[in-house]
Amino acid sequence: MSPGRRASEAIARPLGTYSGPSVGRFGQRVTSAPDSFGAIVVWLVALVSVAGCTKPTPATSPVKASPVKAAGKPARTAATSPAAVTGKEAAKKEAAVYRQRRKPKPTVVGGCEESCGTPQKAAAALFDGLSGAKPRAVIKRLIDWSLLDEDGNQRGERWSDLWVEPKQHPIREREISIWLGGWIAQFADVSAADLLRSRSSGVQLKAIAGRTDVVEMRWRHPPLNKGGGEPEWRILWTLRGYEWLISRIDTAPSKRPLGTPPLGSVRRGHL
């Protein structure tokens, strides 16, 4: 009989029973009284044998179910908390404000901005102002008051010096207003039709050799009642930031050579 079978039979018998003979106190065989201690020893040995012969079943870890993606739809995830959504929106708004601050703004000198973004637009704005209802407000924004040269009179130098001292600003504004009013008064008796005719046939814009910041305009103006100089004027448009502004007016260009005009902006948007 194999050891495993004997161990199984021993386990099956109840404690305190023994099928074999036993020996009494004086060497006599005792068949009726069971040896309880011996039966316990045999039962324990059998239990150990059975435990040794039986291989434990390895424990298996539970398999986690993976999310199954539906066709064309992403796997569902945990819902984002309202606080997280609010934080993301605030971050986006802050980034947008930062980009807006970093965006370069146009450099404004005269104030005409887009209406004088090119020499052609600036010349058109000049004639629109002269024939409009409010010539003073329009033309004032078309002149660079820090560079203005009228027939060799460096008016811009004085007005630039007055601008440096804030207390002198009222004096500067008054002098500019007086000069501008007198210059516009020359065209008071010129009809809109004459201005339109001179605009369409008497204006010529010419580039200056080696310069990209200054353009020369020749203008055969209508007859003026108060002087007016020669029939054809020379007006220089100088790039200042993003604007083309009047920097020089020669009412007698034949008597004054062009020379070297002051520098404007080497690149558009830079002073």
The reported pLDDT for the residue numbered 48 is 56
Is the same domain home to 150 and 25? no
Minimum mean pLDDT among 79-93, 118-132, 167-181: which range? 79-93
**pLDDT band per the 50, 70, 90 thresholds, residue 50:** low
The reported pLDDT for the residue numbered 27 is 45
The reported pLDDT for the residue numbered 248 is 97
The reported pLDDT for the residue numbered 228 is 78
Residue 63 backbone dihedrals phi, psi, to 5 degrees:
-85, 125
CATH value at residue 153: 3.10.450
Residue 216 has pLDDT above 90, yes or no: yes
Question: Is residue 63 included in any domain, yes or no?
Answer: no
Domain that holds residue 237: 113-255
How far is it, in rounded angstroms, from Cα 17 to Cα 43? Answer: 10
Q: Supply the mean pLDDT for the chain.
A: 78
Question: Is residue 97 included in any domain, yes or no?
Answer: no
The reported pLDDT for the residue numbered 104 is 52
Is the same domain home to 46 and 125? no
- For residue 5, the surrounding DSSP H or E stretch is helix 3-12
Measure CA 43 to chain center.
86
Residue 247 has pLDDT above 50, yes or no: yes
Is the same domain home to 41 and 121? no
